[in-house]
Structure 1
């Protein structure tokens, strides 16, 4: 089967011109809006460490959210195919970024920490193994150049 190509289009509009454009480093806002056809806009800015608005999403948070959501979607799908019923799934990922003296920087690691509740009778060992399979399939994780580790917690709960 031939590879499928998927295209994604968004628009990022800078909304931070406060009258003088970028005439000085402190003279403009880092605010922007992320848009895509048919979807609600996302208010963005830079991290507050870089003069950003703390009430808006920053690119670093969106990267973590993308990694977490991609892993979750693969994991839920693989569990469904394997007959493992997931009752709840909550992730609290954490990323580490290093800023260098010249202002450049990069993420050095991310830890995904999904807390998963399985329906009674589910195979905990198989559910744990499927986290690793989901990680191997995740489009976003396969696209970054830093390590992503998994620290899942799995428990058995009540079926819904």
Structure 2
């Protein structure tokens, strides 16, 4: 089981949109350039996100996309399911026919409940994380990176043979 690029790209693009929509509609070409995701792939994903009422499209000059709901009211699970990302660890797709007997009968394999429980926990977790949570994490990360860059650009090192002095300007 693994999350494919479809789900990862959809979540990434939604974070990008949520971070930038305060300035107006966000174009897919801008998201494509910033996130290095194919424009045609984003068009497919956003068609699905729009049909699931997670984004609104604005046509015409100055158009683009915006969130259809507040970021705190969109979960990662909403995004993943909107783009038809399968989240299933069972070998039978949850149909309980993973164990085929010699006589052709079907039933659950010995580990079916294990994988079904994992599925439920995954969905519960993804349903507990909002798009706003991810936006907040990204903003904190950007702030931390900016602070680190600022600190490193303000430190001058005086290297003399006897003493190493660092001064902050």
Q: TM-score under structure 2 normalisation?
A: 0.28
Which has the larger Rg?
Answer: 2
Select the structure that is richer in helix: 2
Q: Relative contact order (C-alpha < 8 Å, sep 6+): which is higher? A: 2
Select the structure that is richer in strand: 1
